[in-house]
Amino acid sequence: MAHLFLVKDIAFQAGLSTATVDRVLNGRPGVRRQTEMRVKAAIAELEKQQAGAMGSGRMLAIDIVMETPQRFSDAVRAAFEAEMATFLPGVFRCRFHFAEVMKPAELVQLLDRIRLRGTHGIVLKAPDVADVAAAVARADAAGIPVVTLVTDLPNSARIAYAGADNRAAGETAAYLIGESLGAGGGKVLVTLSSGWFRGEEEREIGFRRVIRARYPDIGITEISEGHGTDAATGTLAAAALAADPAINAVYSIGGGNRAVLAVFDMAKRPVRVFVAHDLDADNRALLAARRIGFVLHHDLRTDARSAFRAIMSRATALPRAVTPSLSSVEIVTPYNMPAAD
């Protein structure tokens, strides 16, 4: 397997031991096909990073760590790679570490490995739990700035948050659903990927506050811990619909929207209004097909730019740290959907 990289770099990118990578590279027996594919993917990723770094001046290598469904991680990767080009020649090199589901202990282990390996900064989407906050504190003590993305860790040592005002987004969703359902009321299925993400909690708080204050005839049923994956979210949604025939609207905070719609279709139940988050590939298709009514969107490239600037301010020892402003929340319909990047 031809490559130009150190075994330790390939191992770090693949999340494998150097011994395992060495066995794969030298074609030794006893290696699973899945492991071989991880090594190949790691080499391809390193080649892509190297190509993006050609012709650079000072290079800042940062690590982007996210627990999130692939449809959203794909959108984040595209935003960061597009925004990197505006900092050329070669200011940033991004190493991506994505997983759809990651236990807190696994996430902490990854953060500690990045700290020990060395990095100019970490961009992090993670649950707001004590062990993760402790890992962020260890990174900060080692001189590594951490910027939270989309969902915050406000009680940690992170230097900045890059993302939208999640509470305002939830309030906006409540307004859209409340006005759509009208005096007839109904019941909203609120889907979270996990209750441990501060950003999702803030959206839910904002949503419940406005529904309670302005639309008291509308009820709420919540499902959580589907991690935004279709299989788990669909199972939770099916159980909720079976238990409550009044559910006729959806506020999707955590994703899995195709699966949620499929459950309504199988039950032959109408969805009066469906509000989702983020213009990923799935939501673009669903919006264009009129399967969902509104997408609350914020520009991920703006978030990437904010994260880059915050890390750069620490790396270049600017006298005053850069504090990112919150991304604006846009209401996107089938008629004003922006073109894909």
Same domain, 267 and 309: no
End-to-end CA distance of the chain: 34
Structural element, H or E, at residue 321:
none
Query: What is the Cα–Cα distance from 115 to 107, expressed in whole angstroms?
Result: 12
Order of strands across the sheet that contains 92-99? 92-99, 60-67, 121-125, 146-149, 160-162
48 & 81 share domain: no
Residue 319 lies in a domain: yes
Residue finishing a domain among 21, 38, 54: 54
CA distance 224 to 189: 11
**241 contacts 247 by C-beta, under 8 angstroms:** yes
Identify whether 210 is part of a domain: yes
Residues 137 and 247 in one domain: no
Is 309 inside any structural domain? yes
Q: Which domain holds residue 76?
A: 60-161+300-325
Cβ contact 155:246 at 8 Å: no
Relative to beta strand 121-125, strand 60-67 is parallel
Q: Does residue 193 belong to any structural domain of this protein? A: yes
- pLDDT value for 78: 93
Query: Is 33 in the same domain as 121?
Result: no
Detail the DSSP E strand segments found in 185-287. 186-191, 218-223, 247-252, 273-277
- Is 333 domain-assigned? no
My answer on whether 170 and 294 are in the same domain is yes
pLDDT tens track of the chain, all 341 residues? 555 677 877 887 787 888 888 888 888 888 888 888 888 888 887 777 665 554 445 678 899 999 999 999 999 999 999 998 877 656 888 999 999 999 999 999 999 999 999 999 999 999 999 999 999 999 999 999 999 999 999 999 999 999 999 999 999 999 999 999 998 889 999 999 999 999 999 999 999 999 999 999 999 999 999 999 999 999 999 999 999 999 999 999 999 999 999 999 999 999 999 999 999 999 999 999 999 999 999 999 999 999 998 998 887 644 445 566 788 899 999 999 988 76
In terms of domains, do 94 and 178 share one?
Answer: no
CA dihedral for 221, 227, 230, 232, sign (positive or negative): negative
Tokens of 329: 């929340």
The residue among 283, 298, 313 that closes a domain is: 298
Reference 228, options 100, 65, 106, 125; nearest CA is: 100
Residue 338 lies in a domain: no
Q: Does 173 share its domain with 151?
A: no
Whole-number pLDDT of residue 16: 82
- Same domain assignment for residues 210 and 104: no
Residue 77 is predicted with a pLDDT of: 94
Q: How many structural domains comprise the chain? A: 3
Claim to verify: residue 202 and residue 309 sit in the same structural domain: no
SS3 188: strand
Residue 261 parent element (H or E): helix 257-266
List the CATH number of the domain containing 262: 3.40.50.2300
Q: What pLDDT sits at residue 323?
A: 63
213 and 286 fall within a common domain: yes
Q: Dihedral sign, CA of 39, 98, 227, 178? A: negative
The number of angstroms, rounded, from the C-alpha of 91 to the middle of its chain's C-alpha atoms is: 23
Find the CATH number of the domain harbouring 29: 1.10.260
Measured CA to CA, the distance from residue 128 to residue 137 in angstroms comes to 13
Question: Which among 340, 1, 332, 336 is positioned nearest to 169, based on CA atoms?
Answer: 332
Residue 47 in tokens? 């080649």
Are 260 and 223 within one domain? yes
Per-residue pLDDT at 294: 98
- Predicted confidence at residue 319, as pLDDT, reads 46
Query: Amino acid letter at 187?
Result: K
Q: Are residues 73 and 145 in the same domain?
A: yes
